[in-house]
Chain A
């Protein structure tokens, strides 16, 4: 640090911004601590042996960390009526297809909305915004009726198909695509690229931060879905459902449910970390001369 400062000509200015940065980081740290509390609790609970879990008054940090809770969880898992790997596979199918499909369809639809002009565009877009206003709690019954009308009840599709059409993704992608310079697409068009090629090779790489963000949201939503409304067969239910059943076991399964809570929270966090570390600064205007 010192070395760099030594060679910089404007030492004073640098110092001032350093002070500002420190202040802001302190502020950030305070907010961060607040937000991190629940996860600290979850991690510590997962590592606590039973007697510490029931200790009163409770302690934040674990004294004798064990993996007992996880081994308890495995025992509970191996007892289950449907093999646990089945739940895991269901989750992979539902969450994976739901996330990938949504990101793809929303981006595809957002591209012409952002960059093309055609009749009916504005009506379409206001419809999308309107649909976002409708909270799922309110449209639950109509959605259920539509799902049974399509005969996809008790099927993965009942969870996947509605998830593809969330308005938020389209909205987000459109906002980001609008910011791309038109000349970028123009030049590709002049070089004879088809619209799909422009979309896939030019637009999508340039809005990578946007679709990775969207993937994070969607993953989070799909992961939290227990599907208990549509899926009746035990073999079709996602992991989330099985895990919540274990938590519902109450005091007798306190250890296992502490481990479950850890897993439920950890997976979206890992997904988030992977996505975020892939977001690198895009160079929207590289190769542009205006």
Chain B
């Protein structure tokens, strides 16, 4: 048979393809195709045809040019979305790592506490949001509204006073802006980090216990153990989480919302595709830079 003539590497790569095949087939059909279609749409003018279907007319880069030159708010929304993302991603990553380390400790009712931290992910689903909105409407400003008020009252500390104090201390305004923005979105950060916490918990659990044992025997302090054992071992998953956070953040950002509105309320599908492609490209560039930066410092177990 042919089998004997194949080298080990070809044989291995064939096994690889076989394993990937079922996934790849669907991926090509559903995702690659829709990607290509979107790219195609972005270069054409789409009109809904009489009697169903659509007509497309090739217009070249006109949609892109319109988005950048003539559209009222595209550029502005794009910059804010990207800016917000750059603030949120590091915060979410570190917050979730911290939380995962706490939740990975052994204590009674650990699973329950983990579930509480996963709640925002569950609550974010459209159904629950709709239901909560509904009950909020019924109550004419029910609990959720009143708790928001309470939070507002509690954080009624004069923030500007502190901001001015720090800036007069000579803290660079960029850093200060970042801190202010970070504090302002604590709630968003907590509620956006449910999935990341779970990924980090899984990551922490796959660190072999013998590593900690060795560290303990060698007399490492908790601080040293974190930086020398835990941190390098979860490093690959920091990338995972950064990627997830970027994707998640981007999916809920204003720019995507804008593209969605353009498609479904203004029925300008070509422009919407162009917008989403531009923003996707920008996010990809950011992701490549960030991941490249982390990857260099990543330690792989093998």
**Chain A residues proximal to chain B, CB less than 8 Å:** 17, 20-21, 24-25, 27-28, 31-32, 34-39, 41-42, 45, 53-54, 56-58, 60, 105-106, 108-109, 111-113, 116-119, 121, 124, 127-143, 145-146, 150, 161-162, 164-165, 167-168, 170-172, 175-176, 178-182, 195, 199, 206-207, 209-210, 212-213, 216-217, 220, 223-224, 226, 240, 243-244, 247-248, 250-251, 254, 257-258, 260-261, 264-265, 268-269, 272-273, 276-277, 279-286
A116 near B13: Cβ-Cβ < 8 Å: yes
Given A58-B146, A135-B250, A279-B205: A257 and B134 interface contact (C-beta under 8 Å): yes
How far is A130 from B38 in the complex, measured between Cα atoms in Å?
13
B247 near A138: Cβ-Cβ < 8 Å: no
Query: Which residue of the partner chain, among A27, A35, A180, contacts B191 with CB atoms under 8 Å?
Result: A35
**Number of B positions contacting A (CB below 8 A):** 98
Enumerate chain A residues within 8 angstroms of B132, measured Cβ to Cβ.
38, 41-42, 261
How far is A248 from B301 in the complex, measured between Cα atoms in Å?
52
Query: Which residue of the partner chain, among B38, B119, B205, B236, contacts A139 with CB atoms under 8 Å?
Result: B38
B111 near A247: Cβ-Cβ < 8 Å: no
B113 near A32: Cβ-Cβ < 8 Å: yes
B209 near A283: Cβ-Cβ < 8 Å: yes
A161 near B300: Cβ-Cβ < 8 Å: no
Contact of B7 with A by CB under 8 A = no
A283 near B144: Cβ-Cβ < 8 Å: no
Looking at B57-65, B68-76, B157-165, B196-204, the stretch in contact with chain A turns out to be B196-204
How far is A168 from B251 in the complex, measured between Cα atoms in Å?
13
Enumerate chain A residues within 8 angstroms of B300, measured Cβ to Cβ.
178-179
Enumerate chain A residues within 8 angstroms of B175, measured Cβ to Cβ.
none
B38 near A165: Cβ-Cβ < 8 Å: no
Enumerate chain B residues within 8 angstroms of A129, measured Cβ to Cβ.
243, 284, 287
6 A-B pairs whose Cβ atoms sit less than 8 Å apart in the complex: A128-B27, A130-B35, A132-B243, A244-B131, A261-B128, A272-B118
Enumerate chain B residues within 8 angstroms of A139, measured Cβ to Cβ.
31, 34-35, 38
B123 near A38: Cβ-Cβ < 8 Å: yes
How far is A75 from B44 in the complex, measured between Cα atoms in Å?
52
Enumerate chain B residues within 8 angstroms of A172, measured Cβ to Cβ.
199, 240, 244
Query: Which residue of the partner chain, among B118, B140, B287, contacts A56 with CB atoms under 8 Å?
Result: B140
B114 near A220: Cβ-Cβ < 8 Å: no
A142 near B34: Cβ-Cβ < 8 Å: yes
Enumerate chain A residues within 8 angstroms of B302, measured Cβ to Cβ.
181-182
A165 near B27: Cβ-Cβ < 8 Å: yes
How far is A10 from B42 in the complex, measured between Cα atoms in Å?
68
**Chain B 81-108 near chain A by CB (<8 Å), digits 1 or 0:** 0000000000000000001001101000
**B-side interface mostly:** helix
Given A108-B23, A112-B16, A133-B250: A138 and B135 interface contact (C-beta under 8 Å): no
Query: Which residue of the partner chain, among B24, B120, B203, B284, contacts A124 with CB atoms under 8 Å?
Result: B24
Residue of B114, B125, B256 with highest tally of chain A CB at under 10 A: B125
**A-side interface mostly:** helix
**A237 CB, min distance to chain B CBs, angstroms:** 13
Contact of B121 with A by CB under 8 A = yes
B143 near A60: Cβ-Cβ < 8 Å: yes
B139 near A54: Cβ-Cβ < 8 Å: yes
A179 near B236: Cβ-Cβ < 8 Å: yes
- In the complex, which residues 233-286 of chain B have their Cβ closer than 8 Å to any Cβ of chain A? 233, 236-237, 239-240, 243-244, 247, 250-251, 256-257, 259-260, 263, 269, 272-273, 276, 280, 283-284
B19 near A111: Cβ-Cβ < 8 Å: yes
How far is A39 from B123 in the complex, measured between Cα atoms in Å?
8
Enumerate chain B residues within 8 angstroms of A224, measured Cβ to Cβ.
125-127
**Chain B 139-182 near chain A by CB (<8 Å), digits 1 or 0:** 11011101100000000000000000000000000000000000
Enumerate chain B residues within 8 angstroms of A280, measured Cβ to Cβ.
205
B16 near A116: Cβ-Cβ < 8 Å: yes
**Chain B 10-52 near chain A by CB (<8 Å), digits 1 or 0:** 0011011101101110110111111101100100000000000
Query: Which residue of the partner chain, among A27, A109, A182, contacts B19 with CB atoms under 8 Å?
Result: A109
B240 near A171: Cβ-Cβ < 8 Å: yes
